[in-house]
Structures are given as structure tokens and as C-alpha cells.
Amino acid sequence: MLSSSSVSVERVDLSRIDAKEWDAEAIRRGASMRSAFAHLKRVGLKHLWIGRPRIYEIRLGKDDRQVRIGHYTLVRRGKVAAFYDGLNLFSEHRNLWPQAMRAALTEAGPGDFEYGWQWSLEPPRDMELKAIAGVTVTSSRQILVQGVDFANWEDWDAYHRDISENIRRNAKKAERLHPDLAIVVIKGFAAVAHLPTLVAMRDALYRRKGLPFSPLRVLASHALSYVACPTQAMIALAIGSGRVLAIQNMIEFGDAHYNLDGAAANGPRGGAWHLQIAMLKRAYDRSPKGKYLLGYTDVPVVNQSAQGLLRSRRSLRATDWPTSLIQFRWAPRTSKPCEALHSEPMPSTAT
């Protein structure tokens, strides 16, 4: 039997790994869209200022008895090393997270780190980090990732009956107002052509709400993402009466479906809800036990009933997954104090 004390990490070269095998294992480990093979291969192009990522396998055992139990990716943001998608371990080895983190920190060296991101379903890791010798948590932001967990319903009809009656009514209203109403999904590089529509509709939405929005910056960011990784690009549109009524920017990876952003046209309501239900049904058909992620919030559950966006997520019967965005410093106690505090976290070659 392998001892948990024999957890180690080793840097890997994606060019020597089969893409389908990598994605299959990443999905089994519960990794997010950030661990998709295509995403990791091109994330350096998407974020030109941080270069290439450093990708590591997490292994258990010694010498020729080692087995691969997980992976993680480190990127650099200035002097901070970020765990880009957390530590991803097979379910039967998730109890080894503290040992895997110690191995990862030992490999990286002393310095400042970040852990967690806004679409992660990983539980908060504050306590495990604080228990590691030499780790000092400098900040922690507690958030709730929200989305529909289809596993909570017997089938699609049961879920559809459970959502707010107002949502179903508004979706039907769109069908009455626009007899030619159609849902169009564009995947891959062709989705780039619809980014101006997405940004223009979001800009109009923010103007109506009196909120700041930078259309040129958002357009450039989306365009760079799509060009760098077209396999993750997906735009969904509700089209009726000769115009786009609603639009969504999405990514799918495994059984997770990410509704990254979107907007609805000004005017009679219904198009946005019709599109939302259609994309939920599409996700359910592909992953009956999967998750359709809607976003995140800092607002505690007890204070969400009166909030517009959060109330709409509640109407869709969203589940909350608590997670945290953590900043911490690691200074191994075997190092001299001054060296530990002032040494660089890792060579400047990660993304």
C-alpha cells in the first residue's frame, strides 16, 4: 500500500501528452475549463504578459511504483505565483490535498501565492493552508459560485416544473411575440463574428442600468480569448422578428457548462428567458447529472432575495458552492528568515 507521505510533483510537457487522454483525466478529477488541453496550450497567447504556464503532475508512490493522481498549473502575475485551476486530484485521493500542496510549494520555492478563482467549485482551502508549516494567509475572500445542479432533479421535466412560473411565462411570451423565434448556437472560430453584437448589447444593458462598461476593452479581451482558443468559443443567440433578442457567451468542459456573460435587447421581455431555458435544456441533454454555472456572488444567501440578478438565479433553483480566493505567503522554516521573505517565488517562465 502506498504511503501518503510519498506524494511528489513533476513538471510535464503537454506536447508529449495525448489531448483526449489529458481531458478525460482532467474531467475525472473535477477540473474546470481552465484545465482543458486546448486552453492550457494557448493560455500564454491569451495572456501575453504572463508567458507560458508551468504544468505539473501530482504523483503518489516511490520510484517505479508511482501512480499519477492529479495535476495543477502555476502561472506568474508579477511576483505572485497563482494556482491557475487549483490542485486537481482524483476523488479517491482528495484527502491528500495537504500533502500535494506541500509538495507543490516545495517545488515552487518560497514566495507569494494565490489560490482559487471565481468559477471554481472547490471548497474553501483556508484551513488546510493555515495548517501547513510556513504558510501565512494574507487575505481571503469568501464567495458563492451559483449554478443549476441537474443531479438534484429526476429528469428535465421535474426541473422545468420547479423553476419560477414567471420565467416559464416570460419564455412563452417571447414565442407569442416572435412566431419565428429561433435559437442559434455558433461554436469555434465562427463565433468571433458575433462578438460585436455581444459587446454592443452588453454596453446598452449597462447604460440602461447606469453602470460603467468599457466596450473596447471587453471586445479586445473576448476576441483574444476566441482567437487563442477557438475550441472553447461558443455564442448562443435568440433571434426573432429580424433581430437578436438575447445573446450568451458560453464554454463547455466535461459536464460543466459556463454561462460567462450575455445580454438582452431592450423592449418586450421574454427573449432572454427563452434563450436561458433553451441553453439549460441543451446542457441537460448533454449532461443529465451535470452543472450549469451562472456566476458568483459575495452576497450572503440570506440577503439575496431582493437582488435582481441573484433573485433570477434563485428562480432557476440555483445551488450555492462556497469557495474562497486566497492570497498567502510560504516561507519554509528551514530557510533563513530574510531569505524566505525576500526570495522570488519561482523563475519568470510561467504564464
pLDDT (tens digit per residue) in 56-86: 999 999 877 899 999 999 998 888 999 999 9
Question: Which phi and psi angles does 294 have, rounded to 5°?
Answer: -105, -20
Q: How far apart are CA 33 and CA 119, in angstroms?
A: 9
Which pLDDT does position 174 carry in this prediction?
A: 92
Which single residue is written with the C-alpha cell 461554436? 187
Predicted confidence at residue 302, as pLDDT, reads 54
pLDDT for position 303: 60
Q: Is the pLDDT of residue 340 over 70?
A: no
Percent of the chain predicted with pLDDT > 70: 89
- pLDDT in the model for residue 65: 86
CATH of domain 156-287: 3.40.630.30
Helix, strand, or coil (residue 149): strand
> What pLDDT does residue 306 have?
55
Q: What would the grid cell of residue 289 be?
A: 447529472
CA distances, 109 to each of 28, 45, 82, 322, 328 (Å) = 29, 26, 13, 29, 13
Model confidence at 51, pLDDT cuts 50, 70, 90, reads low
C-alpha of 182 from chain center: 28
What are 143-197's pLDDT values in tens digits? 999 999 999 999 999 999 999 999 999 999 999 999 999 999 999 999 999 999 9
307 pLDDT band, cuts 50/70/90, is low
Q: Where does CATH 3.40.630.30 sit in the chain? A: 4-144+324-342, 156-287
Q: Give the pLDDT mean for 311-321.
A: 94
Specify burial of residue 64 (Cβ count, 10 A radius: 0-12, 13-18, 19+).
exposed
- Position with higher pLDDT, 341 vs 312: 312
Distance CA(149)–CA(317), nearest Å, equals: 9
Residue whose grid cell is 448589447: 201
- Is the pLDDT at 278 greater than 60? The verdict is yes
In angstroms, rounded to a whole number, what is the distance separating the alpha carbons of residues 34 and 117? 10
Answer yes or no: CATH 2.40.50.100 is held by domain 4-144+324-342.
no
Average pLDDT over residues 195-210: 94
**Residue 250's beta-bridge partner residues?**
259
Say yes or no to pLDDT of 111 above 70.
yes
Average pLDDT, the chain: 89
Give the Cα separation of 43 and 12 in Å (integer): 16
Confidence of residue 271 (pLDDT cuts 50, 70, 90): very high
pLDDT at 54: 93
pLDDT at 350 over 90: no
Task: Tell me the mean pLDDT in the region 123-142.
Answer: 97
Contact predicate 113/255, CB 8 Å: no
